[in-house]
Structure 1
Amino acid sequence: MTAAGGLPELDPVIHAQARLRVVTALSTLREGDQISFPGLKDILGMTAGNLSVHLSKLEAAEYVEISKTHRGRTPVTYVALTRRGRLAFDDYMVAIRALLDTAGARPPASPDPSDPGA
């Protein structure tokens, strides 16, 4: 998707720093694999509350799937990146690369004549 001015539009669900970190971490899993909530929390160095808030937003967008089960009598929560989330992340990476490429395509700024190092 392209925003006004021809620059690529970045997915606002993924673009928030914490959610970008979550999706990036989950994208390293093979499709269909999942990670426990505490494992993801530890990898990201986030608090449980902060991670929960961001996972809720990603789940509402159908980018992650959260499943709750029990291991014996202990409840366990697992998180996985959905196919839709994986595709959204792929699109996000394409958009961010295109955005960065436009920055690299600009001609270099003219030297500032008042700069003694120019």
Structure 2
Amino acid sequence: MLAQDLLVLLREWWKIGRKQGVMHPDGWLFPGQHYLKPVSTRHIHRIAAEAAHAAGITKRVGPHTLRHSFATHLLEDGVDVRIIQVLLGHAQLQTTTLYTRVATRTVKAVVSPLDRLGMFPASQGSPPG
């Protein structure tokens, strides 16, 4: 899933790079040491770690952290876990549900079906008993 704003930015990156001669027509959008080879996974990991450090994040961060955060944000925004399963390319729903344990805002937002009945008005405090 690619955000439309990011797609516009990447297209502009490509156009400017081509005009300046730094992007080869047959090369990669993010080339490695040679324009016909993509940037290495090791370098991507290093970029993520450096960005986290620059942002003041002290925990260990890598590309998978971004994927995990993406899934967690979608869950917290109410996106169905089966949709997230498809977006992440998981074959089994069980793999996707691992992300639900960290979506604490989603868990806290769940309202008990008993509370939905409105049997005990909130202004009266606890039910007698």
- Flag the structure with larger Rg: 2
Determine which structure has the larger strand proportion and give its number. 1
TM-score normalised per structure 1: 0.30
Q: Which has the higher contact order (CA 8 A, sep 6+)?
A: 1
Determine which structure has the larger helix proportion and give its number. 2
TM-score normalised per structure 2: 0.28
